[in-house]
Structure 1
Amino acid sequence: MGAPIQSGPAQDTLTVRDNRTGKTYTIPIVDNAVDASGFKTIKSPAKPGERPENETEKGLRVADKGFLNTAVIQSRITYIDGEAGVLRYRGYPIEQLAGRSSHLECAYLLIYGSLPTRSQHNHFESEVLRHGVMHSDAQTFFRSFRYDAHPMSMLTSAFAMLGSYYPEANPSLQGQRLYTEGDRTSLENMDRQIYRIIGKATTLAAMAYRVRQGRDFVTPPTGLSYTGSFLYQMDHLGEENYAPNPVLEKALDVLFLIHADHELNASCTTVLQTASSLVDPYSAVAAGCASLYGPLHGGANEAVIRMLISIGKPENVPAFIEAVKRREKTLSGFGHRVYKTSDPRSFIVRKTADAVFAVTGKDELLETAMALHDAAMKDEYFIKRKLAPNVDFWSGLIYRAMGFPLDFFPVLFVVPRVVGWLAHWRQMMLQEGGVKIWRPRQIYTGSGKRDYMPVDERGTGEGKLGETPSVVQHGGITKRTMLADFKGKAKL
């Protein structure tokens, strides 16, 4: 685009000239944003031969693949400045909170908007911890999974299962205005679900862990902190007066705190997209779990460890760096969709890592990680692309040093992140004007109108790779059954 033309006094509007028609449109700018629906008023007659599917006469659409610059909601929760490396919860810098606050105190802050008084904090903590106990039927639920089921599959299913226990939490059963009224009854019902989900997140995660270990489940203890209770439920094997290591307990609390929210990331957006249909919060959280499961999101710290294992020793780092430049290897733990300089959480994690390693001993991959970090920070290829280490680069090393299996890393992301999901969910339910279902538009590039053809007139059916179903090689009972003869056998 050309340089802006300065004329007349500054106004909080955007002037758009449609060169197709010569018409000029004025669109208001509010909080440095323009309403995308304003562009829908920009209409033009279709050009001769133009596809009717473009819907040119119905108004201009805004294309933004992957939501690179689209704001879908007004929020007062988390602020990120990716250029400056800034992260704030409700205005408080993450560095101050990580050094002086706790995960549950920040949970209160994110959900309700202010730091709690002592009595408010005590009430909130008491309610969360009280709701950690699961119905006994949950044991049967977890035991129904295969012995080697991925813990994220179990956790995602468990949150969905949890909603079936609380019909009073389901707008489909209680009326669609269950959470949007904003009166005392509505708020109390909403808060009860918040207590339950945060309280049971550690219990469900610990149950997923224990079933993988072939151990009995542990009832949440009393008298321990949120992270202390979590460690107890995962590790207690009947020892008398068992207490988790305080350094590991504190480190986990800091990691939970800095992972509690990160604005409209993929999983939070998924939660809100799902919640916009006014589904119950348990189903929305389950959807968020499914989104976070992916290696581009919650699985990133696991990918970092697998990358470091593949590199092996520090002396192998230069060859790996060159392979990354040739796009033969994937670099994990560097760069960020939002942060273009440094991830402020990474510095907090580095400090936390030192405290953990002092207790557990340094991870054998630490030297490789440091060598990769130093090499990347000095290489023009990474500097030019602003590929600095992010929070996932170091957090995986801490989890590994603490003895967590690799496939449990995403679970350790979900447990704290439910706080942010719930904060945004609550804000959406109570927003002015009510909740509108999220329904993005598309740009249709497929075929125009086609007439149906009988099957014998459709040719050979051969097409490009990906345009026809793949042929799967079967084995075992399926292979033998396909070779057998029986009544009703399908003809290929």
Structure 2
Amino acid sequence: MGRPTESSTLTNSLTVRDNRTGKVYDVPIVDNSIQATAFKAMTAPAAPGEREENETYKGLRVADKGFLNTAVIRSEITYIDGDAGVLRYRGYPIEQLALHSSHLETAYLLIYGTLPTKPQLSVFEAEVSHHGVIHADAEQFCRSFRYDAHPMAILTSAFSYLGSYYGEANPSLQGQSLYTKGDAASLSIMDKQIYRLIGKATTLAAMAYRVRQGREFVTPPTGLSYTGSFLYQMDHLGEENYTPNPVLEKALDVLFLLHADHELNASATTVLQTGSSLVDPYSAIAAGCASLYGPLHGGANEAVIRMLISIGKPENVPAFIEAVKKREKVLSGFGHRVYKTSDPRSFIVRKTADEVFKITGKDELLETAMALHEAAMKDEYFVKRKLAPNVDFCSGLIYRAMGFPLDFFPVLFAVPRVVGWLAHWRQMMLQEGGVKIWRPRQIFVGASKRDYVPIEARPLVDGPKKTPSAIAHSGITKRTMLASFKGKVVPKL
């Protein structure tokens, strides 16, 4: 906490002068950061006419809409340098991991902090595979969705549904210190849920896929890799000795590795926000899945394909570029909230795409995509704004070439990201000092205190955003509204 002082001899600190009071504060700088709570010491009397809701006597608040520069946790997991285009998992460059590692080996690294030995990896892979089998009742649950239900809606619901099976995994039933004690028993329970969630992620995703196809579900096979098992569960129709194509299996594994974590993105933050209440991990993962569902996050690679389809042929790219510059169209697959240069994952994805296209043939949208890439990279408008291709630009083309439907793309993002969510959740549960529930502050700008007004004396308030929208009714509702019956209430306007 910063304390008021007239002068300071500290060198690793921030000196703040509050011109409202003339007081000077020294705020320590640790790891190139300052504690936001230090500003609570910077109190002042309310200025003439200032709103009491500003609570100046309680100290300054830090406003940061969208968490543009707020650190909420100390982490050892993923490092990103957006300006230099650097991404490292536990210190290892993503380029090295994509070349030499596998998704499950990288999952071990992200969760436990070190690359495993061969025996350690063998145990981890075996446990994940063993826990991939789903209770028979879960099949009924997934079957209860309509044939045209979005697979992300099914997956999100299924993760939450899983939590109802494992009472031993629920802090609400077993005590709130279930995952925070850090002793052998607590760690064992935690690891079991990690195995379950990673193992069942592909099983649930494959079930969501086959609901759409109207096919029976497939029990996870033995002896296949993580992605090999996933492809088997999605595609096997009873063929003898069925084996997924090794090129597609490897490509999917690389894409899973690349998508396994990306620091405190929206979904990871959602998992931590939800997990800070000490809810069970299944509910926290379901919350992350729901966050990933949004088109600004997990739906981005789907948006790229829809954009390319709307452009059509390469000769239409110049007109599209001009429409983007006029803000008439949205450019998907370029730029990133963090990266201000090229996304390091995009280079690996392009190489992976080449391997896939060798056996599937080039996607018909590839030429359009390359024309768009070339045009954007040469246009000063995009260069100035540092809008380079990101991981979503080519990954959607790979998924499309592999035959996945567009609405399944977010699922292919969510399955590997379960690993990153669990790594961050585990780290928070075991952090020094325990877990504090996340409770952000707000800047209240609403009405000051006012007295209740009887309904007969209230003035009419009308207009957009100030009153509920009128809904057009049709079908049975429209006919019922026109019918006569006892007790019918006719709204008065």
Equivalent position of 1:484 in the other structure: 483
Equivalent position of 1:81 in the other structure: 81
* Deviation, structure 1 residue 48: 1.2
Give 1:314-463 correspondences, 5 Å limit.
Answer: 314-461=314-461, 463=462
Once residues 10 and 166 of structure 2 are traced to their aligned partners in structure 1, the CA distance between those partners, rounded to angstroms, is: 54
Once residues 26 and 9 of structure 1 are traced to their aligned partners in structure 2, the CA distance between those partners, rounded to angstroms, is: 9
Equivalent position of 1:465 in the other structure: 464
Equivalent position of 1:49 in the other structure: 49
* Deviation, structure 1 residue 258: 0.5
- Name the SS of the counterpart of 1:155 in structure 2: helix
The residue type equivalent to 1:40 in the other structure is: K
Once residues 470 and 177 of structure 1 are traced to their aligned partners in structure 2, the CA distance between those partners, rounded to angstroms, is: 46
Once residues 40 and 100 of structure 1 are traced to their aligned partners in structure 2, the CA distance between those partners, rounded to angstroms, is: 49
Equivalent position of 1:257 in the other structure: 257
Aligned length in residues: 485
* Deviation, structure 1 residue 484: 1.9
The residue type equivalent to 1:172 in the other structure is: S
Normalised TM-score (structure 2): 0.97
**Are positions 1:149 and 2:159 aligned together?**
no
* Deviation, structure 1 residue 478: 1.3
* Deviation, structure 1 residue 362: 0.2
Once residues 177 and 362 of structure 1 are traced to their aligned partners in structure 2, the CA distance between those partners, rounded to angstroms, is: 53
The residue type equivalent to 1:361 in the other structure is: G
Equivalent position of 1:124 in the other structure: 124
Once residues 128 and 194 of structure 1 are traced to their aligned partners in structure 2, the CA distance between those partners, rounded to angstroms, is: 8
* Deviation, structure 1 residue 491: 2.9
1:382-433 superposed Cα distances (whole Å, 9 cap, x missing partner): 0000000000000000000000000000000000000000000000000000
Give 1:149-228 correspondences, 5 Å limit.
Answer: 149-228=149-228
Once residues 491 and 453 of structure 1 are traced to their aligned partners in structure 2, the CA distance between those partners, rounded to angstroms, is: 25
Once residues 490 and 435 of structure 1 are traced to their aligned partners in structure 2, the CA distance between those partners, rounded to angstroms, is: 52
* Deviation, structure 1 residue 9: 7.3
Once residues 314 and 327 of structure 2 are traced to their aligned partners in structure 1, the CA distance between those partners, rounded to angstroms, is: 20
Once residues 457 and 8 of structure 1 are traced to their aligned partners in structure 2, the CA distance between those partners, rounded to angstroms, is: 60
The residue type equivalent to 1:437 in the other structure is: I
* Deviation, structure 1 residue 159: 0.2
The residue type equivalent to 2:153 in the other structure is: S
- Name the SS of the counterpart of 1:176 in structure 2: coil
1:293-351 superposed Cα distances (whole Å, 9 cap, x missing partner): 00100000000000000000000000000000000000100000000001000000000
- Name the SS of the counterpart of 2:72 in structure 1: coil
Equivalent position of 1:266 in the other structure: 266
* Deviation, structure 1 residue 11: 1.0
Give 1:65-104 correspondences, 5 Å limit.
Answer: 65-104=65-104
Q: Note if contact 2:155-2:208 (Cα within 8 Å) is conserved in structure 1.
A: yes
- Name the SS of the counterpart of 1:33 in structure 2: coil
**Are positions 1:286 and 2:290 aligned together?**
no
Identity %, equivalent residues: 81
Once residues 401 and 342 of structure 1 are traced to their aligned partners in structure 2, the CA distance between those partners, rounded to angstroms, is: 24
Once residues 476 and 59 of structure 2 are traced to their aligned partners in structure 1, the CA distance between those partners, rounded to angstroms, is: 56
* Deviation, structure 1 residue 464: 2.6
Once residues 485 and 351 of structure 1 are traced to their aligned partners in structure 2, the CA distance between those partners, rounded to angstroms, is: 68
For the aligned residue pairs, the C-alpha RMSD in angstroms reads 1.0
Q: Note if contact 2:158-2:204 (Cα within 8 Å) is conserved in structure 1.
A: yes
Equivalent position of 2:312 in the other structure: 312
* Deviation, structure 1 residue 490: 2.7
Once residues 263 and 192 of structure 2 are traced to their aligned partners in structure 1, the CA distance between those partners, rounded to angstroms, is: 23
Q: Note if contact 2:377-2:388 (Cα within 8 Å) is conserved in structure 1.
A: yes
Q: Note if contact 2:8-2:26 (Cα within 8 Å) is conserved in structure 1.
A: no
Once residues 74 and 455 of structure 1 are traced to their aligned partners in structure 2, the CA distance between those partners, rounded to angstroms, is: 52
Q: Which stretch shifts more, 134-143 or 69-78?
A: 134-143
The residue type equivalent to 1:391 in the other structure is: V
- Name the SS of the counterpart of 2:400 in structure 1: helix
Normalised TM-score (structure 1): 0.98
Once residues 491 and 441 of structure 1 are traced to their aligned partners in structure 2, the CA distance between those partners, rounded to angstroms, is: 43
Unaligned 5+ runs, structure 1: 1-6
The residue type equivalent to 2:480 in the other structure is: T
- Name the SS of the counterpart of 2:29 in structure 1: strand
Once residues 154 and 437 of structure 1 are traced to their aligned partners in structure 2, the CA distance between those partners, rounded to angstroms, is: 28
Once residues 14 and 475 of structure 2 are traced to their aligned partners in structure 1, the CA distance between those partners, rounded to angstroms, is: 65
1:178-216 superposed Cα distances (whole Å, 9 cap, x missing partner): 000000000000000000000000000000000000000
Once residues 430 and 485 of structure 1 are traced to their aligned partners in structure 2, the CA distance between those partners, rounded to angstroms, is: 64
Once residues 308 and 236 of structure 1 are traced to their aligned partners in structure 2, the CA distance between those partners, rounded to angstroms, is: 31
* Deviation, structure 1 residue 131: 0.4
Q: Which stretch shifts more, 52-61 or 477-486?
A: 477-486
The residue type equivalent to 1:86 in the other structure is: V
Once residues 305 and 446 of structure 1 are traced to their aligned partners in structure 2, the CA distance between those partners, rounded to angstroms, is: 42
Once residues 179 and 8 of structure 1 are traced to their aligned partners in structure 2, the CA distance between those partners, rounded to angstroms, is: 43
* Deviation, structure 1 residue 485: 2.3
Once residues 106 and 182 of structure 2 are traced to their aligned partners in structure 1, the CA distance between those partners, rounded to angstroms, is: 23
Equivalent position of 2:58 in the other structure: 58
- Name the SS of the counterpart of 2:165 in structure 1: coil
Once residues 427 and 337 of structure 2 are traced to their aligned partners in structure 1, the CA distance between those partners, rounded to angstroms, is: 24
* Deviation, structure 1 residue 10: 6.8
Once residues 256 and 333 of structure 1 are traced to their aligned partners in structure 2, the CA distance between those partners, rounded to angstroms, is: 18
Once residues 10 and 452 of structure 1 are traced to their aligned partners in structure 2, the CA distance between those partners, rounded to angstroms, is: 54
Q: Note if contact 2:302-2:406 (Cα within 8 Å) is conserved in structure 1.
A: yes
The residue type equivalent to 2:244 in the other structure is: P
The residue type equivalent to 2:374 in the other structure is: D
Unaligned 5+ runs, structure 2: 1-6
Equivalent position of 1:27 in the other structure: 27
Equivalent position of 1:3 in the other structure: none
- Name the SS of the counterpart of 2:24 in structure 1: strand
* Deviation, structure 1 residue 8: 9.2
Equivalent position of 2:4 in the other structure: none
* Deviation, structure 1 residue 18: 0.3
Once residues 143 and 307 of structure 2 are traced to their aligned partners in structure 1, the CA distance between those partners, rounded to angstroms, is: 32
The residue type equivalent to 2:104 in the other structure is: L
* Deviation, structure 1 residue 489: 2.4
Once residues 8 and 444 of structure 2 are traced to their aligned partners in structure 1, the CA distance between those partners, rounded to angstroms, is: 40
Equivalent position of 2:135 in the other structure: 135
- Name the SS of the counterpart of 1:352 in structure 2: helix
The residue type equivalent to 2:419 in the other structure is: V
